[in-house]
A and B are shown apart, each in its own frame.
Chain A
Amino acid sequence: GQQVMQIPQYQHVQEGEDFTTYCNSSTTLSNIQWYKQRPGGHPVFLIQLVKSGEVKKQKRLTFQFGEAKKNSSLHITATQTTDVGTYFCATRDFGNEKLTFGTGTRLTIIP
C-alpha cells in the first residue's frame, strides 16, 4: 500500500510564529487530503487537493500540492493557541474507498 511520510513529527512554536508541515510520498498521488485532530478529539477534514501545483487557502492556512503530485504542505501563518493539534495528510486510492493517513505532525503552541 501507499506510504505517506510527514515531517516534522513534532513542532513547538511561539504563538504568532508560522508553522509548516510537509507530506511526502514515493509514488504519485491522485489526491491529498488534510485533517486536524485536536488532543482527545477525532480527525476533522480540512481540505482536499487534486490538481498538480494546486494551492488553496483557508484564512491563515495555506495548502499546496506539488507539481509532481508526490508531496504536499500545510502552512499556518501567525499561529494561535486554537491551532494546537495533530495535522495529518491523507490520500485516497483512485477507485478505492481506502484512506491512508500520513504519520502526522503534532503542533504545540507556546503562549
Chain B
Amino acid sequence: DTEVTQTPKHLVMGMTNKKSLKCEQHMGHRAMYWYKQKAKKPPELMFVYSYEKLSINESVPSRFSPECPNSSLLNLHLHALQPEDSALYLCASSTPDRSSGNTIYFGEGSWLTVV
C-alpha cells in the first residue's frame, strides 16, 4: 500500500475561520511533509516532520500550524488565512534516510480557497 491520503480534497474557508487539513499514510514512513503549490509553480516546502518531531519550518507564517499526532498522521491547522494562501496543499511522506536521496510519495492534495 503505497498511498498518502489527504482530506478534504477541497476546502473553502473565510478569513476568520479555523480549519484543518489532514494527511495519513500507512507505509511506515517516518518523515512527513507539507508543501504548498500555487498555479503553474513548483511545490514549495513548508514543514518537515521526522520521527514525529518538527525538523524543518521554512519560515511559514504562524497562521499555519502543523501537528504530527503519531507516525501515520499529519495535520495542518489553518487560522486567519489570507486570500493569497489559496493554493494546493500537498502532503508527502518518505523514509528519513541520511543516504543520498530516496522516494517521496505525495498525496492528491487539498485544494484550499480562502474567501
Given the contacts A42-B109, A104-B42, A97 and B56 also touching, CB distance less than 8 Å: yes
In the complex, whether B33 has a CB less than 8 A from a CB of chain A is yes
- Nearest-Cβ distance from residue A54 to partner chain B, whole angstroms: 12
Q: How many residues of A contact B (CB 8 A)?
A: 24
Task: Report B71-89 residues with CB < 8 Å from chain A CB.
Answer: 88
In the complex, whether B55 has a CB less than 8 A from a CB of chain A is yes
Q: CB distance A50 to B100 under 8 Å?
A: yes
Task: Report B9-49 residues with CB < 8 Å from chain A CB.
Answer: 31, 33, 40-45, 48
CB-defined contacts of A91 to chain B, threshold 8 Å = 101
Given the contacts A42-B109, A101-B42, A106-B40, A92 and B100 also touching, CB distance less than 8 Å: yes
Q: Which of A50, A88, A99, A104 contacts B45 (CB 8 A)?
A: A99
Closest to A43 in B: B106
- Nearest-Cβ distance from residue A59 to partner chain B, whole angstroms: 19
CB-defined contacts of A42 to chain B, threshold 8 Å = 88, 90, 106-109
Q: CB distance A103 to B50 under 8 Å?
A: no
A106-B61 Cα distance, complex, nearest whole Å: 30
